[in-house]
Each structure stands twice: as structure tokens, then as C-alpha cells.
Amino acid sequence: MTSAPLKYRRILLKVSGESLAGEKKFGLDPNTLRAIAREIKAVVDLKVEVGIVVGGGNIFRGLEASAQGIDRAVADNMGMLATVVNALALQDALEKAGVPTRVMSAITMNEVAEPYIRRRAMRHLEKGRIVVFGAGTGSPYFTTDTAAALRATEIGADAILKGTRVAGIYDRDPEKDAQAQMIPRLTYFEVLEKSLRVMDSTAITMAMEQHIPIIVFKLLEPGNMKKLVLGEVVGTIVETRGDER
């Protein structure tokens, strides 16, 4: 019996910091970390190469701190450090699930993470290791969404998978409006024109220029990631032409 063909052989998974907090809304939830690790392991077992960019909003949000009077560059640097904390926690959960994982940081901190070097990251992926990219782009004023699009471009990812708490992209906030309708397909231009809160405009533009599809899906729905890499319709896809999947 032959295995099912893969639609995506190398992916960049974007995980928000809030996702790691679970129901607590702040900090790290061990059960949520284990659940995410299980979903990722199911994909790695299919020989999919996985890079991950993680946010830091469960610990510190640079933009909010800036609004409260902290210098924006300083606040963003603090936020980047928070992403490294999350990257280390995710590495621990993944390795306990039996998946070799490396953390690479855009800010030099050799005692806890490897420095981000593109060729080294590619080599890790080729050897079947997960690479968790911490510290965003390494520069203030750029979000981790932009970091996800940048790293996806650099590693040659077939798709960006954005794991969220909801099933996809909606016309309204589904957590506030029970009548919200999910949109199965969108173009990059539609996302930009409608100001949909998928990823920031810089990230969307970069993905559009590189023709990297963005798939927004419910991260903790068991089996969702596996279905996606096998080509099943899950969540919302953002691509050049919304009528293609």
C-alpha cells in the first residue's frame, strides 16, 4: 500500500503566543503545548519539513507597551525576547514528543539558541529536524507575521500555515458574532482591500510576491495539519487566484 501524496513538503507554521497560553490567556499552558506538539509530530511523521515562527503576545506585546510610553524600539526588543521564551517551551514539548528540534534566534544568545543562519536552517530541515525561529526578524518595527513570511521565503516553504483559535477567516469576528460566516478562499488583494485581520500587510505583500499560499486554520483541531499537508480542504486559503485550491 502506497502512502498518500503530500501537497506541501516543506511548511512554515506560524503560531501566536496567545495560542500557547490556552485558556489562561497569559503565560504558557503545558497541556496546550503538548497538544500542539502532537499535531506537529503527526505531520513530521509524514516526512514533511517544518519550520515554525512563534509570537510572544502571551508574555509581552511590544506595540501595547509602546502605547503605554515605552520607546517603540525598546518595547519591540522586549517582545522579541518573549518569542524566544516561547520557542524554547515549544522545543521542549516537541522533543518530549520525540521530534528533534532546534531553536534559532535572530538575536544572538548562544547559551540558549543557535544564531539564525539560513543555510544551517535548511540543513536542519533536510535532516528531518524542526526549526523554531525565535526573535522575529531581529529588528524592531516588524511583526512576527512578517518574520513568518520572511522565513518562509528564505527556506523555500511551499505554504505558510497560520494556526489560530478559529476555523479560518471570517467576515466578522466569530468569537463575538455567532452569525459570522467563514470565507473558504481569498486572494491576497482581497485580504489587503478588506483589511482582514489575517496577517499584517507587509507579510501579505511578501507572500503575494513570492506566490506562497497562506492557509488559516484551527490549530488545535485534531488532524487539521495532517489533512492540510495531504491536500484536504481545511480552513481558508489565501492565494493569487481565490478560485484555485
pLDDT of 3 reads 61
pLDDT of 242 reads 43
User: Average pLDDT in the 143-167 region?
Assistant: 96
Could you say which DSSP state residue 147 is in?
H
pLDDT of 65 reads 75
User: Average pLDDT in the 181-209 region?
Assistant: 94
The region, left, alpha or beta by phi > 0 then psi within -120 to 50, assigned to residue 138 is left
Residue 174: band (very low, low, confident or very high) from pLDDT cuts 50, 70, 90:
confident
Q: Where is average pLDDT lowest: 7-16, 26-35, 146-155, 234-243?
A: 234-243
- Measured distance CA(148)–CA(52) in Å, rounded: 8
pLDDT in tens, 96-145: 999 999 999 999 999 999 999 999 999 999 999 999 999 999 999 999 99
- The residue extents of the domains of the chain are 10-239
Handedness of CA 20, 24, 28, 30 (dihedral sign): negative
Q: Which three cell numbers stand for residue 39?
A: 499535531
Percent of the chain with pLDDT over 90: 83
Q: Residues with Cβ < 8 Å from 219, sequence gap 6 or more?
A: 15, 19, 36, 39, 163, 164, 165, 225
- Measured distance CA(94)–CA(104) in Å, rounded: 15
Q: Which three cell numbers stand for residue 16?
A: 501566536
User: Average pLDDT in the 168-176 region?
Assistant: 87
- Measured distance CA(123)–CA(236) in Å, rounded: 31
pLDDT over 90 at 172, yes or no? no
Q: Where is average pLDDT lowest: 21-25, 34-38, 128-132, 228-232?
A: 21-25
Top CATH class of 10-239 equals alpha beta
3-state helix, strand, coil in the chain (%, to 5): 40, 20, 40
Identity at 148, one-letter amino acid code? A
Owner of C-alpha cell 470565507: 183
pLDDT over 90 at 155, yes or no? yes
DSSP H/E element including 104: strand 101-105
